Chains A and B, each alone.
Chain A
Amino acid sequence: MLSINIFNGLVYGALLVVMSSGLALIYGLRRVVNFAHGSLYMLGAYLGYTVASHTNFWVAQVAVPLLMGLLGLALDRFAFRPLQDRDPLTVILVTFGLLLVLEDLVQTVWGKSNLSVPAPELLSASVDLFGMSVPAYRIAVIFFGLVVAGALTLWLRYSKMGLFVRAASTEPTITSMQGVNVDRLSGLVVAVGTALAGLAGIIAAPFLSLSPSMSSDVIIDSFVVVVTGGLGSLSGAFAAALLLGQVQAVGAVYLPEFATVLPYVLMMAVLLWRPAGFAGNRV
């Protein structure tokens, strides 16, 4: 019972890694808390449903992040960039308005009933893992989470562009004085962040059902993750995502009545202890 919960906690944690790394990246460069990130995730899941039902899951897993990346470019060009000198509350409220529009868009196009995307055939079986029978797809979710975390870490640590991103997230003005086009870089990072929201959506589609309420649960958990890990900190977000997955999973065994409340308690405790989160705000 406990081990299957720990496993499921790991699966959900991996999904949160993909979700919250996008949120953290966008915050790192644009100092924007994207309230619409959950709606972008939902849009990704529904787009994935449509693409997958016409082709297959793997096409969707490539096409959806690409489409969402384009949307991210537009989002940066027409919202975050023109508003970068405005009060941060303004930008939060703009993303909140965007959330309302996206929620309505999804309900209008795909309806209010629950939809589901079947797991790809390759991963539809169950596998024996340490004596538990678990769906292969869930193992793949953990793998996707690892790939995203690994790829982002390598990109930020070892590529020249990654270096620019790290520089711009700490000192945007000085970085642009050194000849880096911070606006274009931010556009790219917002595109990557939005693509990650879409990717999280299509990853979640086969194991969480698609419904208009799917966005609010995940966005709140992602907020808990990025606040706990330190706004804008990628490694902090990875650690906090895995921690949150485990807190919920283990909480469901030992404190079933409080399981849904535990993440919020965690968030409050961390904010009181270290208001900047446990990793501060470095990428």
Chain B
Amino acid sequence: MSRELTNGRIAGGVAVALAAGAVVALTVTSETVLSLLTQATIFAIFALGVGILLRQNGMVSFGHAAFYGLGGYVVAILLERQLMSAETALVTAFFGIALFAFLIGFVVVRVPGIAFGMLTLALGQMFYQVASRSRNLTGGADGINIPWPDTLFGLDISLLTRQDAMFYFAWSGLVLSIGIVAALMASRFGATTEAIRDNEERARFIGIQTLLPRVLIFTLSGTVTALAGLMSAFQTAFVSPESMHWSVSGTALMMVIIGGYRYLWGPALGAIVFFMSRDLVGDFAQHWLAIFGVALIVVIVFAPQGISGALARLFRRKAVVPQATPAVIHKLKERT
């Protein structure tokens, strides 16, 4: 491998991306464009969460919208019932969902390959059903308005909800998440999970405990997705069962595949491409999902590395991440 991803390089990349975000926030004046960019960035965090799971565990989740929706719901319920301050609620929601992902991870990552996809779809829909039916807790199909207080972390809420501030807030969240995940993946932990992904049996033979690292990747993936949910709750001050619907999980998955998941920034790029091109097709927007369905098929069949893979090849850089080897494919087939 010609280029090592060191912590120094990651920190440099984060600094450049943060500066680029600041330039966008300062130069773009249109509120609509900024709001669209914020949405795209929030979904980029969501896609990053789904992408980590696919990249490090080789698992496709069709139910991650549950984590996304949970972010909003936990904060909304805590604030609506005035159980704690908004600051504590945000922290509680974040770590609470991380703990939940950890616990449920022990159950779901044991389920092999294809059945994992089906199980996550079912679990995700379970959350959707519960959210749309229990009117007392979640407000049913109407959703909940989130009563944010006037000040948050000592800052005035009107300052935080300005479109440019909101965009920069989401963008920093995205960039820092990618940075933290990249550092984790460049560490021993990242190498361990790749070994397990490529051949769990051999990893076990050389003395690696294989369940816990996979659970931790699932936890990381769920937590990053929950962060996107929290940001969305902050941007819209509203959460509804629709945010947990399977089509939301499917949309995030499409972003991951179209962006390509071998590079951590691939899913994020996929999300941004998704939002920008949806805006461009205009009149065809109602057929948007079908257009993206076709795009998904074309990418997965003819260019499985996605846009990020194609860009990386264009600039003739060697992949920093080991490619999915025949061993992975063999293992996936074996597990089914």
A interface residues with partner B (beta carbon < 8 Å): 31, 33, 35, 83, 86-90, 92-94, 96-101, 103-105, 108, 216, 220, 223-224, 226-227, 231, 257, 260-261, 263-264, 267-268, 271-272, 275
Of all chain B residues, the one with the shortest Cβ separation from A232 is B336
B332 at the A interface (CB under 8 A):
yes
Which residues in window 66-119 of B have CB below 8 A to A? 107, 110-115, 117-119
With A and B bound together, what is the CA distance between A51 and B304 in angstroms? 40
Determine how close the nearest CB of chain B comes to the CB of A25; give it in whole angstroms.
Answer: 16
Contact A33 B122 (CB under 8 A): no
CB distance from B88 to the nearest CB of A (A): 30
| CB-CB contacts below 8 Å: B241-288 with A | 246, 250, 253, 257, 287
Contact B115 A271 (CB under 8 A): yes
Q: Could you show 29 A-B contacts with beta carbons less than 8 Å apart? A: A31-B336, A86-B329, A88-B113, A88-B114, A88-B336, A90-B304, A94-B296, A94-B300, A96-B250, A100-B290, A101-B290, A101-B293, A103-B290, A104-B287, A104-B289, A104-B293, A108-B287, A220-B122, A220-B246, A223-B118, A226-B118, A227-B119, A261-B129, A261-B130, A264-B122, A264-B126, A268-B119, A275-B111, A275-B115
- Inter-chain CA distance A93–B300, complex, in Å, is 7
| Contact of A223 with B122 at beta-carbon distance under 8 Å, contacts A93-B60, A104-B290, A271-B111 already known | yes
Residues of B contacting A86 in the complex (Cβ-Cβ under 8 angstroms): 329
Closest A residue to B59 by beta carbon equals A89
Whether B115 pairs with A227 at a CB distance below 8 angstroms is yes
B238 at the binding interface (Cβ < 8 Å): no
B interface with A by C-beta (< 8 Å): 58, 60, 62, 107, 110-115, 117-119, 121-123, 125-126, 129-130, 133-134, 246, 250, 253, 257, 287, 289-290, 292-297, 300-301, 304, 324, 328-329, 332-333, 336
Asked if A89 and B332 sit within 8 Å, CB to CB, the answer is yes
On chain A, the residues within 8 Å of B122 by CB distance are 220, 223-224, 263-264, 267
- A residues less than 8 Å from B111 (CB atoms): 271, 275
- Name the contact of A260 in the complex, choosing from B117, B129, B250 (C-beta under 8 A): B129
Q: Which of A96, A224, A231 contacts B114 (CB 8 A)?
A: A231
Residues of B within 8 A of A94 (CB): 296-297, 300-301
Nearest CB of A to B283, in Å: 14
Q: A264 near B117 (CB under 8 angstroms)?
A: no
CA A100 to CA B62, docked complex, whole Å = 14
Q: Which 3 A-B pairs have the closest CB atoms?
A: A100-B293, A104-B290, A97-B297
A103 near B289: Cβ-Cβ < 8 Å: yes
**How far apart are the CA atoms of A224 and B60 in the complex, in Å?**
17
Q: How far is the CA of A96 from the CA of B296 in the complex (A)?
A: 9
Write out the residue numbers on chain A whose beta carbons fall within 8 Å of the beta carbon of B125.
216, 220, 264
**With A97-B300, A260-B133: A33-B119 Cβ-Cβ less than 8 Å:** no
Contact residues in B for A227 (Cβ distance below 8 Å): 115, 118-119
Interchain CA distance A223-B58 in the complex, whole Å: 21
Query: Would A267 and B119 count as touching, CB distance under 8 A?
Result: yes
Q: How far is the CB of A172 from chain B (nearest CB, A)?
A: 12
**Interface pair B115/A220, CB less than 8 Å apart:** no
Cβ contacts under 8 Å, B121 to chain A: 220, 223
| Interface pair A231/B292, CB less than 8 Å apart | no
Cβ-closest chain A residue relative to B116: A271
Interface pair A100/B289, CB less than 8 Å apart: yes
**In the complex, A260→B134 CA distance in Å?**
11
Q: Which of A33, A96, A272 has the most CB of B within 10 A?
A: A96
**Bound: A263/B130 CA distance, A:** 13
Partner of B117, one of A92, A100, A216, A257: A92
- Chain A residues with CB under 8 Å of B287's CB are 104, 108
Chain B: CB-nearest residue to A217: B125
A97 to B302, CA, bound (A): 14
> Cα distance A223–B111 when bound, in Å?
14
Contact among B60, B119, B292, B304 with A100 in the assembled complex (CB-CB below 8 Å): B292
A99, B113: Cα distance in complex, Å: 20
Q: Choose from B62, B119, B253, B296 the contact partner of A271 (Cβ within 8 Å).
A: B119
Whether B294 lies near A101 (C-beta < 8 A) is yes
